[in-house]
């Protein structure tokens, strides 16, 4: 166990217990790759460079990042760049935040078919929202635009599949000549959304199964996959699905704060890990059933790793997607048009044109080129260190 006042990391868990886990548990190539990337992130294995102070001669080594999207160390810079790009797409209106959650009875099938089932999740939510946007009873009768962000975990690292949805409060008429604002405190009735979401998801889910696009888990001789699938559909059709509507945001600054909290999260951050040792991992979590009280949980190392790996996404799978007038093919023209139609004088945040050094200074207040020893000189790269880790991907 680490001693003193250590900082614990997911990488430490993998270095200490990862090989044993891989020897005793089935693991995919994608999961093994994520483990290895996190282990070697910002170590000599990935190479780096030597920096030299031009005033006092102080030298330091900086190692490269793995840039894996599941790595706790590699999200901040990616997140900030992504947020900066989104500033050019903000609208001078309120925003709504909805959360669409799949029932846990579907989890075993989803875990065997992540690409298909999570793709269906995005499609079902898109279809549901656009149908409600068209429906006259909700007073919009136009096209919505929204960003969907996939999360796959609970606070205790269990599988919990849900989409966070950020929606500008209004719709663009299909003739593209009117912006119809939503009510300030209400977009759609959450229970109505949930019923429609359930219907659309299960329809797409059954279609995928009928086309043999899903692997249905079962390992007994007498196992009847079709019968069990029908039983599952019947079961989840009878329960209430959950759509949660949060209070609307007041303006663009709050939207960016929201985006920063949700878009580039991973299953667990390093600062939640409190101790590692004796084959156990202790970490903090928020207990939703106890008014979000901060608590600690202790898991055997193998169980911690198993839970972490539940959230490795298929390679190339996009966890952030854009729809309606915010889709990649529409947003450039649509955003300018909607801003003009709204005619607001609201000041929108400006997109920064900055280098990595400038971005870090804005975020931390520190100049990373300043010598940490003499505080006067500038650190200059004098030597590159070769990558010692060859990634076959």
Instruction: Answer whether residue 206 is part of any domain.
Output: yes
270 three-class SS:
helix
| Full residue range of the structural domain in which residue 136 is found | 81-267+310-342
CB 91 within 8 A of CB 256: no
Instruction: Answer whether residue 156 is part of any domain.
Output: yes
Q: Which two tokens stand for residue 363?
A: 């975020």
Residue spans of the chain under pLDDT 70: 1-6, 218-223, 250, 389-393
CB 29 within 8 A of CB 35: no
Instruction: Answer whether residue 373 is part of any domain.
Output: no
Instruction: Answer whether residue 24 is part of any domain.
Output: no
Q: CATH no. for residue 224?
A: 3.40.1310
Instruction: Answer whether residue 191 is part of any domain.
Output: yes
Instruction: Answer whether residue 15 is part of any domain.
Output: no
pLDDT (tens digit, 9 = 90+) per residue, 280-304? 999 999 998 899 999 999 999 999 9
pLDDT of residue 365: 81
For residue 252, the number of C-alpha atoms closer than 13 Å in the C-beta half-sphere is 17
pLDDT of residue 357: 81
CA 308 to chain centre: 14
pLDDT of residue 6: 66
Task: Please give the C-alpha separations between residue 292 and each of 155, 249, 284, 286, 368, in angstroms, as whole numbers.
Answer: 10, 21, 12, 5, 37
Instruction: Answer whether residue 115 is part of any domain.
Output: yes
Instruction: Answer whether residue 161 is part of any domain.
Output: yes
pLDDT of residue 78: 86
The runs of H, that is alpha helices, within the chain are 10-24, 29-40, 76-86, 107-112, 114-134, 190-210, 225-237, 252-262, 301-309, 331-342, 356-364
- What is the maximal distance between C-alpha atoms in the chain? 77
Count the domains in the chain. 1
Phi–psi pair at 203, nearest 5 degrees: -65, -45
Residue pointed to by tokens 């599941």? 70
């Amino acid at each position: 166990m680490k001693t003193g006042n250590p900082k614990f990391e997911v990488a430490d868990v993998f270095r200490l217990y990862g090989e044993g886990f891989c020897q005793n548990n089935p693991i995919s190539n994608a999961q093994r790759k994520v483990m290895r990337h996190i282990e070697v992130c910002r170590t000599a294995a990935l190479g780096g460079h030597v920096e030299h102070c031009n005033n006092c001669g102080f030298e330091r080594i900086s190692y490269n990042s793995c840039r894996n999207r599941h790595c706790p160390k590699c999200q901040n810079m990616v997140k900030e760049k992504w947020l900066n790009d989104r500033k050019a797409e903000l609208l001078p209106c309120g925003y709504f935040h909805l959360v669409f959650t799949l029932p846990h009875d579907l989890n075993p099938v989803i875990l065997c078919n992540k690409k298909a089932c999570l793709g269906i999740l995005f499609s079902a939510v898109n279809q549901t929202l656009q149908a409600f946007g068209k429906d006259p009873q909700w007073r919009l009768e136009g096209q919505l635009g929204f960003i969907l962000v996939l999360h796959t975990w609970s606070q205790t690292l269990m599988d919990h599949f849900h989409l966070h949805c950020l929606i500008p409060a209004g719709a663009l008429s299909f003739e593209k000549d009117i912006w119809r604002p939503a009510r300030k405190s209400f977009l759609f009735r959450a229970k109505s959304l949930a019923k429609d979401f359930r219907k659309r998801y299960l329809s797409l889910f059954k279609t995928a199964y009928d086309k043999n696009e899903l692997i249905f888990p079962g390992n007994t001789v007498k196992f009847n996959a079709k019968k069990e699938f029908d039983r599952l559909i019947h079961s989840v059709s009878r329960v209430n699905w959950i759509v949660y509507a949060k209070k609307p945001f007041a303006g663009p600054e709050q939207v960016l704060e929201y985006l920063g909290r949700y878009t580039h999260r991973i299953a667990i951050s390093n600062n939640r890990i409190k101790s590692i040792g004796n084959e156990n991992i202790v970490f903090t979590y928020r207990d939703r059933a106890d008014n979000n009280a901060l608590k600690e949980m202790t898991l055997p190392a193998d169980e911690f790793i198993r839970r972490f790996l539940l959230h490795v996404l298929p390679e190339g799978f996009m966890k952030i997607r854009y729809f309606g007038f915010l889709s990649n093919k529409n947003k450039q023209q649509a955003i300018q048009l909607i801003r003009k139609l709204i005619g607001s004088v609201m000041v929108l945040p400006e997109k920064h044109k900055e280098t990595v050094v400038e971005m870090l200074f804005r975020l931390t207040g520190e100049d990373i080129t300043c010598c940490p020893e003499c505080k006067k000189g500038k650190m200059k790269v004098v030597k590159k260190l070769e990558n010692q880790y060859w990634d076959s991907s």
